[in-house]
Amino acid sequence: RSNAEKFEFQAEVSRLMDIIINSLYSNKDIFLRELISNASDALDKIRFLSLTDKDILGEGDNAKLDIQIKLDKEKKILSIRDRGIGMTKEDLVKNLGTIAKSGTSAFVEKMQTSGDLNLIGQFGVGFYSVYLVADYVEVISKNNDDKQYVWESKADGAFAISEDTWNEPLGRGTEIRLHLKEEAGEYLEEFKLKELVKRYSEFINFPIYIWASKEVDVEVPADEDESSDEDDSTESSSKEESEDEDADKDEDEEKKPKTKTVKETTYEWELLNDVKAIWLRSPKEVTEEEYTKFYHSLAKDFSNEKPLSWSHFTAEGDVEFKAVLYVPPKAPHDLYESYYSSNKSNLKLYVRRVFISDEFDELLPKYLSFLKGLVDSDSLPLNVSREMLQQHSSLKTIKKKLIRKALDMIRRLADEDPDESTDKEKKEMSSDIDEKKGQYTKFWNEFGKSIKLGIIEDATNRNRLAKLLRFESSKSEGKLTSLDQYISRMKAGQKDIFYITGTSKEQLENSPFLERLKKKNFEVIYFTDPVDEYLMQYLMDYEDKKFQNVSKEGLKLGKDTKDKELKESFKDLTKWWKNSLSKDNVDDVKISDRLDNTPCVVVTSKFGWSANMERIMQSQTL
């Protein structure tokens, strides 16, 4: 085209497209849900803008916020159209090709090892999945602030953008035209597309229509020329027309009773989804399967795994809102990447059914950012800017309630897990016991670190979070155990909770610090994650019991009458020893009852860094 401007894809994007277009990956269906999800995002954006500027939607068809799917069997084109926000020329260049999203290279890497494209949406590059089924794609787009443009590419490293002077004006929004590959003919079948929309896009909050064919019976005079029927049927016609036709014929019928029925194909928009929001329904009416499917669409997680848990509730009182929270089956690839510098909230905020934002960091604290879900509030104002909303006082209340509910939900995961309970409790558990078995360990392995970060960050909920803590100990026999279980095993007269930190369980098991404790049958917690050192600076006590690091000063294993005696008789030795080591090296030399076979050990002072902490600080590996 004469007015086309050529661009090269950013290198990472180009690599991704190569992989996709040559992919033998069998589940090519995913492209449709990615396009529908993009259309839905674009509609959310324009609807949000229209809250503060009504005119932005325009009039007539333009104001219809829907998604339309159309097929052209002859030309082998599948098109998906929305009346969302659309893209300016600059948006097209930026969003579809030149600026690689942060997830691109991570996804390319993952693709090369796993070959699984299913998670493409989570990496922010879902659009490119169109090249699974098409070898040539056109994106026609019109944003209110610019003219209509066409973006096109054959996935050959380059794309072109032209001002659109030949297609019908869109008014506003985007139409994606997929020129399907030879082997992708199934995506020209209506039933296939209907099935895909039902399966993957059921919970999209905008109506999705397909231009569907329909066979209708039409009565025509028997003696009329066949060819004239065909003329009528080529163009689509509404029912009214055919009824009128019938009526005309009815009149003639008395004179010429001979009529016959012929099949005629008409087209009409057929609605494919039920737009009623799941979170507005009563939890009793929503099935487990529906919650699972809703999670998949919300989290763009189509791994077919069920979420570990969910909580659907209504908050009443000063601040009213409905929410659905999910614990995903797996942690996202970048959960702890740039944890302190960025805030990746995963909750969608709606105000009175209107999507506002999924970038609100006021809804959940960082350590709970692994949760997915949504909040829909009636207590927040609709027609203010995002920034003003962000400061609204109701958000504090919402956040507080969400944290409570989230921690309850996580605790329930443990309570329902037969692996977590005593034999007596197990007997009383429900029938889905097998399904729940091991679910808390699974949770802990994926998100345990978040709970620890929570203990560090959230003083208000520290005790609740400490209840969720799991670890191995000298008595846990390779399994995970909890503080409550530890306390239930404490020896009579034991005041403190004993723990030790280090790099691995194996290292700790052989530590001289444990000799006497083991001999006297005290249980010691093993903390082996670097974050544990920080954790224990914040977790001072639990249920009125103090934590004692057994490699630090102050370890008391109960009263020993010989203490004083021993101290006296070894006084000269300890004095000599202390003086012969310089003051920079040790603070003190003492008689201790913590050892059994080992003659002496270096202990850290109460408020000093443990040896393990020194090691961590040196390698700086949090």
- 454 scored as a contact of Mg ion (CB under 5 A): no
Q: Whole-angstrom Cα distance, residue 108 to residue 12?
A: 8
Q: Whole-angstrom Cα distance, residue 374 to residue 351?
A: 11
Residue linked to tokens 């959230």:
458
The radius of gyration computed from the CA coordinates of the chain, to the nearest angstrom, equals 33
* Region binding ligand ADP by CB under 6 A among candidate stretches 17-25, 81-89, 350-358, 510-518: 81-89
- 34 scored as a contact of ligand ADP (CB under 6 A): yes
Element (H, E) at 181: none
With a CB cutoff of 8 Å and minimum separation 6, the contacts of 361 are: 343, 345
Helices 30-52 & 190-200 angle (0-180, nearest 10): 60
Helices 530-538 & 439-457 angle (0-180, nearest 10): 60
Nearer to Mg ion, 126 or 454 (CB): 126
Q: Whole-angstrom Cα distance, residue 105 to residue 320?
A: 42
- 365 scored as a contact of ligand ADP (CB under 6 A): no
Which string of x and - marks every residue 442-481 that binds ligand ADP (by CB under 6 A)? ----------------------------------------
With a CB cutoff of 8 Å and minimum separation 6, the contacts of 271 are: 207, 208, 209
Element (H, E) at 296: helix 288-299
What tokens does 419 get?
């692996």
Nearer to ligand ADP, 101 or 330 (CB): 101
Residues between 113 and 152 that touch Mg ion (CB under 5 A) = 126
Residues between 569 and 588 that touch ligand ADP (CB under 6 A) = none
We find the least distance from the C-beta atom of residue 176 to ligand ADP, in angstroms, to be 7
Contact 150, 177 (CB under 8 A): no
Nearer to ligand ADP, 39 or 525 (CB): 39
140-158 CB burial, b ≥16 within 10 A, e <16: bbbbbebebbbbbbbbeee
- 87 scored as a contact of ligand ADP (CB under 6 A): yes
Residue of 19, 44, 126, 151 that binds ligand ADP (CB under 6 A): 126
Residues between 388 and 427 that touch ligand ADP (CB under 6 A) = none
Q: Whole-angstrom Cα distance, residue 461 to residue 426?
A: 28
Nearer to ligand ADP, 106 or 616 (CB): 106
Identify the CA nearest to 133 among candidates 193, 190, 182, 175. 182
Contact 152, 176 (CB under 8 A): no
42 binds, among Mg ion, ligand ADP, none (CB under 5 to 8 A by kind): ligand ADP
- 104 scored as a contact of Mg ion (CB under 5 A): no
- 32 scored as a contact of ligand ADP (CB under 6 A): no
Nearer to ligand ADP, 34 or 472 (CB): 34
Nearer to ligand ADP, 42 or 155 (CB): 42
Residue of 13, 16, 17, 39 that binds ligand ADP (CB under 6 A): 39
Nearer to ligand ADP, 96 or 413 (CB): 96
Residues between 2 and 41 that touch Mg ion (CB under 5 A) = 38
Q: Whole-angstrom Cα distance, residue 421 to residue 406?
A: 21
Three-state secondary structure of 413-461: HHHCCHHHCCHHHHHCCCCCHHHHCCHHHHHHHHHHHHHHHHHHHCCCC
- 42 scored as a contact of ligand ADP (CB under 6 A): yes
Residue linked to tokens 């030399």:
589
Residue of 44, 82, 202, 532 that binds ligand ADP (CB under 6 A): 82
Which residue is closest to Mg ion by CB?
126
* Region binding ligand ADP by CB under 6 A among candidate stretches 12-20, 37-45, 342-350, 429-437: 37-45
We find the least distance from the C-beta atom of residue 616 to Mg ion, in angstroms, to be 39
84 binds, among ligand ADP, Mg ion, none (CB under 5 to 8 A by kind): ligand ADP
Nearer to ligand ADP, 84 or 373 (CB): 84
We find the least distance from the C-beta atom of residue 34 to Mg ion, in angstroms, to be 5
Residue of 65, 68, 83, 84 that binds ligand ADP (CB under 6 A): 84
We find the least distance from the C-beta atom of residue 290 to ligand ADP, in angstroms, to be 24
We find the least distance from the C-beta atom of residue 41 to ligand ADP, in angstroms, to be 6
We find the least distance from the C-beta atom of residue 619 to Mg ion, in angstroms, to be 39
In DSSP notation, 122-156 reads GGT-GGGGGGGTEEEEEEEEE-TTS-EEEEEE-SS
Which parts of this chain interact with ligand ADP (CB under 6 A)? 34, 38-39, 41-42, 82, 84-87, 95-96, 124-127, 174
| Interface with Mg ion (CB under 5 A) | 38, 126
